[in-house]
Structure 1
Amino acid sequence: MHNFRLDAVDHIPVDVLPIGTDYPPGHVLPRHAHRRAQLLYGASGVMQVETDVGSWTVPTDRAVLIPPGVAHEVLMDDVTTWSLYIEPDAVPWWPASCMVAEVNPLLRELLRTANTFAPDYDVTGHDGAVVNLTLHELRHLTPMALSVSLPHDEPFRSLCRTYLAEPDLAVTNETWAQAANRSSRTFDRQFRAQTGTSSAAWRSHARLLTSLRLLPISSVTEVSARLGYASPAAFTAAFTRAFGAPPSRFN
């Protein structure tokens, strides 16, 4: 199915509904939740998924697993998705929190094929076999560290969301502490309590996540300069330490 609304087909008695959708650059899916679990795969473009507890960046050929009932907002940057909407009872092993994972060539082709099926596909024939194999492959996905925690409380949450949208190397702990009307020590203690990390470490990882949105349209040299790294080599080293692969895997 392509460019179908989920609520138009959610009543169909199948465990898995494959739905592909095209989104223009900068399109935002407002905060919403699904009754079913969702596999949100980006066949092109980059997505950013935000929930109450975190933000996940999803480059091309990666997917995010979204638990049923979890409210989320998605920023689509020129994205084509191949989604699966899955009855919760069919995937009791589904993660309790969002998870980004790389999609191997076999799973990619299974998703591509499933997204050509009619809404009332034959679950006992070829189409059902493709869906069953897809679910089997999903059980073996490996999580990728493509997320940051988001604080619940203000002004911490707004500061983090603003930084994710436009990282600024000039922002320091003191900058944020002053904006929050707190001392640096108090700010850092409260920030750690909500995110589990220091604000400096959080901003460093957030800059690297932002690079995933820039790499498809810019060179490594351009991205490293824009994000304030001393050299492309320094950026590449930091990126590889964080994500286990060099930037060239993502552009």
Structure 2
Amino acid sequence: MRNVSINQLDDTPRKVVALGTDYSHGHLLPFHTHRRAQLLYGATGVMQVRTSDGNWVVPPQRAVWIPPGVAHEVLMLGVSTRSLYIEPGAVDLGQRCQVISVSPLMRHLLMEAVAAPLMYDRVGRDGALFDLLLHELTRSEVLPLHIPMPAEGKLLSLCQTFLNKPNAHQSPQYWAEQIHISLRTFNRLFRQQTGLSFRQWRQQACVVLALARLAEGEAVTRIALDFGYESPAAFSTMFRRVLGQAPSVWLEAAK
């Protein structure tokens, strides 16, 4: 099904239903929840997902898992989506959102799924297609495209300020001074609140934010300089350390 409201599908007596939707550039889906889990795949464009746990950037040809009942908003940047809405308990990828890889097989299955009738034959070809989709989903690789955020307070404010203007040279000592605590206390608090060291978080935030801009066609040089890196090579080295590939290789794989 394409461009149909999820409310029309939610009570369908099938454990998985598929929906394709095209969004204009810059369309914002405000905070909302689904009774079912959602696999949100962007065939084109970039999605930016936000929950109380943090931010995710979903490059083209990747997907984000959204557990049932999790409030989320999504900014669509030229996106054509293919979504699966999955009954709770049919498959479980965890209680937090996560960006996942999409295999070539899974990509073709998603395209076929949105062409299936709403009341597809559960024991026929379409039923087998959706069963195979769930198997492929459990095999997907989780990608480090999440920026975890502190729950509240001054540390949350500092993280939000950084996301608005990333600076690769900001040090944990500088942040500790901003909230008037020792460096040792800051390092312990930051890991408790985000699950990452400050250095890991800073690098991951820069990579995730850069991916959205790269997918929009911005040059690596411009992004590297905006983020405070001394050269595109220095930025690419950091990018490769986090994702295992250079920016150019990552984007080529998404085409």
Question: Is TM-score (shorter-chain normalized) higher than 0.5?
Answer: yes
Q: Which moved more, 1:151-160 or 1:183-192?
A: 183-192
Identity %: 47
Runs (5+) with no aligned partner, structure 2: none
Q: Contact (CA 8 Å) 1:188, 1:198: kept in 2 or not?
A: yes
1:28 Cα deviation after fit: 2.1
Shift of 1:200: 4.3
Residues 48 and 85 (structure 1 numbering): CA distance in 2 closer, same or farther, change over 3 Å?
same
In the alignment, the residues of structure 2 paired with residue 169 and residue 209 of structure 1 have an alpha-carbon distance, to the nearest angstrom, of 13
Aligned counterparts of 2:59 and 2:8: Cα–Cα separation in 1: 28
Q: Shift of residue 146 of structure 1?
A: 1.1
Q: How does 1:26-45 map to 2 (within 5 A)?
A: 26-45=26-45
CA distance in 1 between counterparts of 2:45 and 2:182 reads 38
Kept after mapping to 2: 8 A contact 1:40/1:83: yes
TM-score, normalised relative to structure 1 = 0.89
Residue of structure 2 in register with 1:64 after alignment: 64
**How do residues 95-110 of structure 1 correspond to structure 2 at under 5 angstroms?**
95-110=94-109
Moved more, 116-125 or 203-212: 116-125
State the TM-score, normalized to the length of structure 2. Answer: 0.88
Match of 2:47 in 1: 47
Q: Give CA deviations for 1:153-192 in whole Å, capped at 9, x if unaligned.
A: 1232233234324424565546645654x23535444333
1:48/1:76 contact within 8 Å kept: yes
* Paired position in structure 2 for 1:215: 214
Aligned to 2:181: 183
Q: Which amino acid is 1:80 matched to? A: S
Aligned to 2:24: 24
Query: How many residues in Structure 1 have an aligned counterpart in Structure 2?
Result: 249
Aligned-pair distance for 1:203? 2.2
1:197-236 correspondence runs (5 A): 197-216=196-215, 217-236=217-236
Unaligned runs of 5+ in 1: none
- CA-CA distance at 1:136 after TM superposition: 1.4
Aligned to 1:120, what secondary structure does the other structure show?
A: coil
Equivalent residue number for residue 148 of structure 1: 147
| Deviation of the 1:210 alpha carbon | 0.8
Structure-2 separation of matches of 1:187 and 1:43:
41
Secondary structure, counterpart of 1:25 in structure 2: coil
Partner of 2:241: 241
Q: Following the alignment from structure 2 to structure 1, what is the Cα–Cα distance between the partners of residues 169 and 236?
A: 21
- Partner in structure 1 of residue 251 of structure 2: 250
**Residue 32 of structure 2 contacts residue 73 of structure 2 at CA under 8 Å; is this kept in 1?**
yes
Q: Contact 1:173 / 1:184 at 8 angstroms: preserved in 2?
A: no
